[in-house]
Amino acid sequence: MIIFLDLDGTLTNTTHPYFKKMKDGLDTTDVSLIRKYVFPGALNFIKEQISKNNKIYIVSDSHPRYVEPISKQIFNLPFLSLADKPNDKKTRDFINSNPELSTAFQNKDNFIFVGDSWLDVALGRLLNIRTVLTKFYKTYVKEIRDGIGDDWKPMKEGPTYYAKDFQEVSNIIANPLKNLLALEAVFQGLESSKAVKFKFQKHSKGFTAFRCLARQEDGECDKYARADKYFQIDNPNRSIDFLEKLALSVSNYLQKVEAQDNFQWDYLSYVSDKRTTNPPKKMEQIFDLINSNITKVKLFHWDQNVIGSLRNRPNYNSRRQFIAQYLSTDIYYSLNNKNIIIIDDQFTSSATAYEIATQLRNRGAKNILFVALFYLILPLSNKDCPNCGKKMQIKINRQRGNKFYSCLSPRFGGNGCGHIINIVNEH
């Protein structure tokens, strides 16, 4: 395994502005000071990985006068400085200049990128390798470019894994497929109960939490993201085996949730489909296949006179208004002090999740867990159109699930020439 490690915020707790002049090469790097800020477990992690014949490289945006002495004197690792994340050119040049790395890069599964910011995740995505988003420190001030202190943006970049300490990073490297998100693991023939923890908010009576089981990539990403499977949900020819796999991923996640003994869940429900949805009752079919000991109920109903589609609403506010107007909670069930889990197909703008949570809290619900099969991650592409030079986007054929680069024309909301390049083999 080839491990690319970010430096500041990943190996050392040096995200504070105090270290900026050192990072920029303006002040002499005080290695003895930096040594005091090495994260617990970092040196043992490096020693352990090297003992397993894994190769480690530091990849940092900081100046070589900062990165070189730290890499050599503290970690004894080769390095790339001034990497210019998330631009992948310098990292690709670094890989291609090293015969061992260049050969290994023919199989992207040989690589993993570990870092603490959206820049690290985005760079890993452009390289089409798996990424680990770390969170080893608390932030008190937001830093705009690197996104330090902004938990939302790196999650929306779509890291493959999350880690709170180096032991979790080691577990991921040792068992990468078993640590995939629940839905992504299912399509590798494995079981996982992992989910993206998007939100946890305490209320006077309980909490509201949002969780997601797979990434729906909009652009380049590692091969385990599952936009192809999301689009297959809308395919009238979807198979029962496919639906069973989706349901199994939810069942695997719920098994861990149900095992928590601090309280019991009262109801398991889902966001029902409008009568005009095609294929009809798509979420109901998946919901019926979920294996759970929680009482299943249908809590939500669309107005029979609903007009339009949620997808065509341009922003969060208009989506929220649409849901509030047409989707209601069944008055038959008493929800006061109830703990409720809701299943939906996608988490995009969060409008559906927030509106449903609001309706349930207004009915007296105590704890609310909203679980989405997929969440949409931010678009990312490094390919320019050979015809007009505009930036191309990766798209997915909704029927066949194959990817292609598209220079979006005005007909499809872009300003390009419409040129298409099929992606035959990403890896």
- What pLDDT score was predicted for residue 146? 61
- What pLDDT score was predicted for residue 401? 67
Percent of the chain whose predicted confidence (pLDDT) is above 70: 95
Residue 219, strand partner residues: 380
- The edge-to-edge listing of strands for the beta sheet with 79-80 is 79-80, 55-59, 2-5, 111-115, 130-134, 161-163
- Which of 92, 75, 74 is closest to 83 using CA atoms? 92
Residue 244, strand partner residues: none
CB 169 within 8 A of CB 114: yes
Between CA 295 and CA 106 the distance in angstroms is 49
Question: Can you list the pairs that 282-289 forms with residues at least 24 positions away whose Cβ atoms lie under 8 Å?
Answer: 282/233, 282/234, 282/345, 283/343, 283/344, 283/345, 285/243, 286/233, 286/243, 286/246, 286/247, 286/250, 286/343, 286/345, 286/373, 287/247, 287/343, 289/243, 289/244, 289/246, 289/247, 289/248
CB 401 within 8 A of CB 232: yes
What is the average pLDDT value for the chain, to the nearest integer? Answer: 91
How do residues 202-226 score in pLDDT, each as one tens digit?
998 899 999 999 999 888 899 999 8
- Flag whether pLDDT at 364 surpasses 80: yes
- Domain parsing of the chain, residue ranges: 2-176, 196-376
Q: What number of other Cβ atoms are within 10 A of residue 402's Cβ?
A: 12
Question: Can you list the pairs that 300-309 forms with residues at least 24 positions away whose Cβ atoms lie under 8 Å?
Answer: 300/269, 300/270, 300/271, 300/272, 300/327, 300/328, 300/329, 300/330, 300/356, 301/272, 301/327, 301/328, 301/330, 302/272, 302/273, 302/274, 302/275, 302/326, 302/327, 303/327, 303/328, 304/275, 306/274, 306/276
- Flag whether pLDDT at 427 surpasses 50: no
- What pLDDT score was predicted for residue 399? 66
How do residues 262-315 score in pLDDT, each as one tens digit?
789 999 999 988 877 878 888 999 999 999 999 999 999 998 888 877 777 778
Which segment of 53-67, 198-212, 343-357, 413-427 scores lowest on mean pLDDT? 413-427
- Flag whether pLDDT at 426 surpasses 50: no
SS3 (DSSP) at 176? coil
Between CA 158 and CA 99 the distance in angstroms is 30
- What pLDDT score was predicted for residue 402? 73
- What's this model's pTM, rounded to 2 decimal places? 0.90
- Flag whether pLDDT at 412 surpasses 90: no
- Which of 5, 165, 166, 2 is closest to 71 using CA atoms? 5
- What pLDDT score was predicted for residue 349? 82
Between CA 173 and CA 154 the distance in angstroms is 20
Listing DSSP states for 205-260 in one string gives S-EEEEEESSEE-SB---TT--HHHHHHHT-TT--HHHHHHHHHHHHHHHHHHHH-
How do residues 372-390 score in pLDDT, each as one tens digit?
999 999 988 888 899 998 8
- Flag whether pLDDT at 423 surpasses 90: no
- What pLDDT score was predicted for residue 147? 58
- Which of 79, 126, 117 is closest to 98 using CA atoms? 79
- Residue 9 token pair: 């915020």
Fold match, 2-176 / 196-376: yes
Residue with tokens 């939500």: 300
SS3 (DSSP) at 148? strand
What CATH number has the domain spanning 196-376?
3.40.50.2020
The domain made up of 2-176 has a fold known as Rossmann fold (3.40.50)
* Cis peptide leading into residue 154 (ω within 30°): no
Between CA 268 and CA 297 the distance in angstroms is 6
- What pLDDT score was predicted for residue 231? 86
The H-or-E segment that residue 157 falls in is helix 152-157
- Flag whether pLDDT at 37 surpasses 90: yes
Instruction: Name the pLDDT band for 396 (thresholds 50, 70, 90).
Output: confident
